[in-house]
Amino acid sequence: MQYRTMPRSQDQISCLGFGCMRFPTDSSGNIEESTAFEMLNYAYQLGVNYFDTAWPYHNEQSEILIGKWLQQVDRDKVLLATKMPCWLIKSQDDFQIYLEKQLEKMQTDYIDYYLLHALNKGSWPAMQKLKVLDFMERAKADGLIRHIGFSFHDSYPVFKKITLAYEWDFCQIMLNYLDTHYQAGRNGYNLAVSRQMGVISMEPLRGGKLVSSLPPEVSRIWSLEKDRQTPLERALRWVWNLEGCQVLLSGMSSIDQVKENVRLADICMANTLSESQLKRYQQARREFIKRIPILCSECRYCLPCPAKVAIPYVIGTYNEAIMFNDRDRHKREYELFIPEPNRADKCTNCGVCLTKCPQHIDIPKQMRLIRDYFSS
């Protein structure tokens, strides 16, 4: 296994991290425990030492499963990461309450890497108001957590604000060859590296879409390369090429995926992609971007919508469906992640959003189109 050094802690950390959000499940959504243990054991035996879970994963069952698994292995050889569910914190007392519950669920006395989960421009001020960092430092001094970080889903300016507010040990950001200018993006990565923060990449395969849903234009670009790498290897290689990224977190849903990703983690080194290879990634990215049908920047100026349509998320899901040429998968995501009262069909054509959208998108017209697309 390839190990990298965390800048502040000097922990030797496996460059492949196990994302515990995508275990195989049965028809009721319960984790298939024996297969999950087989996957975790295989990764552990081959040197993976970073395991990332969170309160909500698998209907709150992921931390419990990890707790059971930790009883079978040498706890000292595991770097355990989990996250405070910021959206459930309503008072200062809740910080301690949730941390204690997490320690109990995972049957452990300490968490190695503790993150504020999914910070954004709304949750960060709310956490600051409750003096979250005072709590985190107390928990660190008490030995309950070892390193303080955050995971992030918002724009770069928000990332910058959060990053500069504290001497974080590490951050977890979306990093893949497509999203260099999305969310924290490459600017966020550069900023984190310049502040000696560890960087953990999440969604390196865009949830699997960079493997299974490549549009023909992108496949054509990759076919110009002589090396015959798989789409999987291309995507993972791009992340591992970043030397300031210590861990690529992979959500794996079968033992074969674990085996293949462990294999690749041994051979994909930092700073090994040539200029011409990096240009090819840019070409592939451009082909993806050309396919985006609605040029929404997700600035959210259109909100609140009087009819409560979640306009940016509706447009975002539609854009992805077209970009990845995969309606069925995105229809499932649309129905799973956007509650019924907030979907495109609830648009009343009132036109309030038309005066607010800086991109001058005809939002009511697009809502009709998206409604038809996902209902057909």
Ligand X SMILES: NC(=O)c1ccc[n+]([C@@H]2O[C@H](COP(=O)([O-])OP(=O)(O)OC[C@H]3O[C@@H](n4cnc5c(N)ncnc54)[C@H](OP(=O)(O)O)[C@@H]3O)[C@@H](O)[C@H]2O)c1
Backbone angles phi, psi at 111, to 5 degrees: -115, 130
At its nearest, how many Å lie between ligand X and the CB of residue 154? 11
Name which of 188 and 204 has its Cβ closer to ligand X: 204
Task: Name every residue whose Cβ is closer than 8 Å to that of residue 111 and which is 6 or more positions away in sequence.
Answer: 80, 81, 82, 99, 102, 103, 144, 145, 146
- Interface residues with ligand X (CB under 6 A) are 19-22, 52, 117-118, 151, 153, 172, 202-208, 211, 232, 249-253, 257, 260-261
Quick one: 26 or 275, whose CB is closer to ligand X? 26
Residue 258: CB minimum distance to ligand X, A = 8
Quote the tokens at residue 79.
Answer: 């770097």
Hey, what amino acid is at 80? L
Cβ(152)–Cβ(119) under 8 Å?
yes
Q: How far apart are the first and last CA of the chain?
A: 47
Query: Least distance from C-beta 232 to ligand X, angstroms?
Result: 5
**CA 3, CA 348: separation in Å to the nearest integer?**
54
Q: Which is nearer to ligand X, 201 or 319 (CB)?
A: 201
Q: Which is nearer to ligand X, 9 or 253 (CB)?
A: 253
Are the CB atoms for 234 and 222 separated by under 8 Å? yes
C-alpha 19 chain-centroid distance: 9
Which residue, chain included where needed, has tokens 């941390």? 99
Q: To the nearest whole angstrom, how small is the minimum distance from the Cβ of residue 206 to ligand X? A: 5
What lies within 8 Å, CB to CB, of 129 at 6+ separation is none
Q: How far is the CB of 24 from ligand X (least distance, A)?
A: 8
CB nearer to ligand X: pick between 6 and 205: 205
Torsion-angle region of residue 215: left (phi > 0), alpha (psi -120 to 50) or beta?
beta
DSSP-derived secondary structure letter, 151:
E
Kindly give, in sequence order, each residue whose CB lies less than 8 Å from that of residue 159, ignoring residues fewer than 6 positions away: 152, 173, 183, 184, 187, 188, 191
Closer CB to ligand X, 99 or 202, in the complex: 202
Q: Which is nearer to ligand X, 103 or 178 (CB)?
A: 178
Nearer of residues 333 and 362 to ligand X, judged by Cβ: 333
Least gap, CB of 203 to ligand X (angstroms): 4
Nearer to ligand X, 4 or 22 (CB): 22
* DSSP result, 11-43: -EEESEEEETT---B-TTS-B-HHHHHHHHHHH
CB of 151 to ligand X, least distance (A): 3
The distance of closest approach from Cβ of residue 249 to ligand X in the complex, given in angstroms and rounded to an integer, is: 4
Residues with Cβ within 8 Å of 58's Cβ and at least 6 positions away in sequence, in order, are 20, 21, 23, 25, 29, 31, 65
Q: How far is the CB of 53 from ligand X (least distance, A)?
A: 7
